Structures are given as C-alpha cells and as structure tokens.
Amino acid sequence: MSDDGPSRNGDDPPAPASDDRWSQYRQRLIRLGQTSVGERILIAVSALLLSLVVGTVIVTAAGLMATCRSPVLSFGSTTLCYDPFYVFNRLFLGALGDPFTGGWSPLNAQFAATLRETTILVFTGLSVALAFRAGIFNIGTQGQLIIGALAAALTVLWAGSLVSGTIALVLFIPLGLLAGAIGGGLYGAIPGALKAYADANEVITTIMLNFVAVRVSLYLVRNHFADPTSQATQTRTLPVEGQFPSILFDPRTDFSLLALLIALLFVGGVYYLLEHTAFGYDLRTAGIQPAAAEYGGVDSARTILTSLTLSGALGGIGGAVFVMMTLGKFQTGIPSYGFDGITVSILAGNNPIGAVFAALLFGVLKSGSNVVAFATNVPPQLVGVLRGLIILFVAMPEFFRIIGRRLARGQRDRQATATAGGGADD
C-alpha cells in the first residue's frame, strides 16, 4: 500500500500527502534561510566537525584496505596504513606552518602559500558573489580570469618596452590591474549583453566562454607572444617593476602582502557598492525581485549588463594578481580559481566580507593538501576526497539557506499579491 494512502484500520492518522511533505520541507528551508549569523557560524562549525568525523572513517577504511611497508598500527594480520589524525593535523596545521612547533613564525613559507591562494580566491569569490546578488549565475569567472591575466601580462610587457625606472615602479602594477579589469570586464560583458538583449541563458554562455578563453589565450601566446627562449606556452617574464614586491615574506614564496591588502580593499569596495549605493540597491533588488525592480523603474537590461561586467572585471583583476604576484608571466594552464570562486561565494552566503573567510578556508585546504601529500603516504586522490568532503559539508547548509531565502521571498510575494488582489484565485 502506498504511504500516501488511507490507514488500513481507519484509526491511525493518514500519512501526509506528497504536497504536504513538500510543504514541510519548504518551511524547513525557509526557517533555515532565517537563521542568524551566530546560528550560521554554529552550523558551519558543526558541519566542519562532522566532515572530520566522516573523513576519519574514510581514511581509516582506506588505510585498512591499503598495503604498505610501514603500517601505523597492526593487530593480528590486519594493518592500518594511514593515520587519520596525522592526516588532518597536516591538512590544517601544515597549512599554517605548524604553530605548535618551536621557532614558528607567521612569516613562514607554508603560511605564505596559504595566503597566496587566499588572495586570488578573494577576487574570484567576489566576482561570483556580485553576480549572484544580481540574480545571475556567473560560471564564467575562470574564463574572465584567464583573459584578465593575459591582458595584464601583455600590457605590462608592452609598457616595459617603453618605460623604466621610478616611473615604471609606480605605474606598472596599477596599469596591470587596470588592464586585467578591462579584459575581464569586457569578457564578462559578452554574456551580459547576450542575456540582457537576447535573453540568452547566462549559465550556458558563461560555460562556453570559459573554453573560448582557454583556446584564444593558447592561440595568441603560442603564435604571437611566446617566449622564444622557453619550450612552455608562456609569455616573456614581466619586468621586476610589474611584479608585486615581496613585503616581509621571503620572495621565493611568491606572495605579496600588498596584493592581499588590495584584495581586502576590493572587499570593502564591493560591500560598500552593494549595501550603501543606489546602484547596489538596484542590483540587489533586481536579484531578489526582478519584476518588482523593473516596476519600480530599474532598467533590468542595464543592471544585468553592468553586474556581469563588474563581475568579470573582478575575475580579471584576480587573473592580473595571479600573473603579477605568483607566476611573473602568463602561462597556459591556469589553476581553476574561477570555479573555486563559485564555492567560495556559496560558502560566504554571497557576502563580500564572508568571502574573505571562505577564501581563507579554501586557501588552508589547498595549501594543506600539498603538505599532506609531502608528509604522508596518503594517495593524492584520497586527499582530494577529504578536501571535497569538507567543502561539501560546510557549503551545503549555506546553499540550502540561499534556497530557503528565495522560497521565503516567493512566499511573501504570493501573499502580497493575494492581499492586493483580494485573493490568489482572483
């Protein structure tokens, strides 16, 4: 008998119909969307701890099935090859340079690597978050980052052939960032214009443009801007004045505090733009209630185009920072910072300030993964599973919270319509 059918003896209350169950799920999601900041932090910490428990089980099970010469534990004929506690120790503390050992310094190389990853992810997280707040799902940040990186590298190389000395020292970094912003912004404007004026689905267009960016950059570098002294597909090395200076940290870490400070300035700028300007209000209103925003005088087409352009510009600046801080040149095969920015944004609840902490968590996991691979015999695939597991557990509550907030808005709109029209059926 179906669960939705009447009770067999007529005494038990009937099981809830599927519509009733969906209504219960929807109300739970709506309640989740109304959680306070403190409750969200508690949920995130609980999700992180739960992911560690599940990860410990997975590592232990994998260690029991693996074969190794030096097991960490043996009982009878059974051996345990991986120590799950040591794996998580290296994953988190290794990313910070292990502060519980003697002689620890906050300027250590591993912490610099974590901050280096964090800096790039702040830009890509901001890029995705800004588009999300406008109700646009921008999956093309990776392509915008690539175009921005290429534009920054070519611009600085061109300027390096014209200017040198003190002027170059002052000019090149702002010029590279501007070029990255223009390149990424124009590339983001393409799907923006297609959506605004041709009603093209931005998910499809931004995905496709990621592939286009990879192929275009490969063609241009290989055929027109390749370094003749290198076998790799890359441009010539940028002049020293066009690379971020290493402040406090060792230059070999490829991290610059100046780049991180610029990223934090952009966080403040995007937060101010979204929360304290008329354009930010229009953008948020268009993302929450597009019909009401248009009725209130917001030009939805212009808002879509502008938000995707700004989103692309932020991704492009991330690419410029990657080129001028990490690589010192443009090279094909840029890591997937743009795709990671989607998870960073979801994890942050599309909040610019939250993107800093989400990017830091990502930076710790990415940097710590390298330490685990170096310090243990755990396969890199298993390390990837652990990293994905932690991200999944921490991001999912925020993802469902976003859905709950959207459901709550839809419910309020229906209630307002029913009140204004005298009833939903009118």
Residue 319 tokens, joined: 């690419």
Is residue 185's pLDDT more than 90? Answer: yes
Return the minimum-mean-pLDDT range out of 23-32, 323-332, 355-364, 366-375: 23-32
Q: What is the pLDDT of residues 405-426, one digit of tens each?
A: 777 777 776 676 666 554 433 3
Q: In this predicted structure, what is the pLDDT of residue 239? A: 93
Coil, helix or strand at residue 87: helix
Which ranges in the chain are annotated with CATH 1.10.3470?
A: 107-374
Q: How far is CA 124 from CA 180, 269, 358, in A?
A: 13, 15, 11
Please give the share of the chain, as a percent, with pLDDT higher than 90: 39
Q: How far apart are CA 180 and CA 315, in angstroms?
A: 8
Enumerate residues 6+ apart whose C-beta is below 8 A from 181.
148, 313, 314, 316, 317, 320
Are the beta carbons of 160 and 241 closer than 8 angstroms?
Answer: yes
Question: What dotted CATH number matches 107-374?
Answer: 1.10.3470
3-state secondary structure of 304: helix
Query: Residue with structure tokens 């230059």?
Result: 251
Q: pLDDT (tens digit, 9 = 90+) per residue, 192-250? A: 999 888 888 888 999 999 999 999 999 999 999 999 898 889 999 999 999 999 888 88
DSSP states along 158-216: HHHTT--THHHHHHHHHHHHHHHHHHHHHHHHHHHHHHHHH---HHHHHHHHHHHHHHH
The count of other CB atoms within 10 Å of the CB of residue 154 is 20
Predicted confidence (pLDDT) per residue in 81-125, tens digit:
888 888 888 888 888 887 777 778 888 888 999 999 999 999 999
Rounded mean pLDDT of 70-87? 84
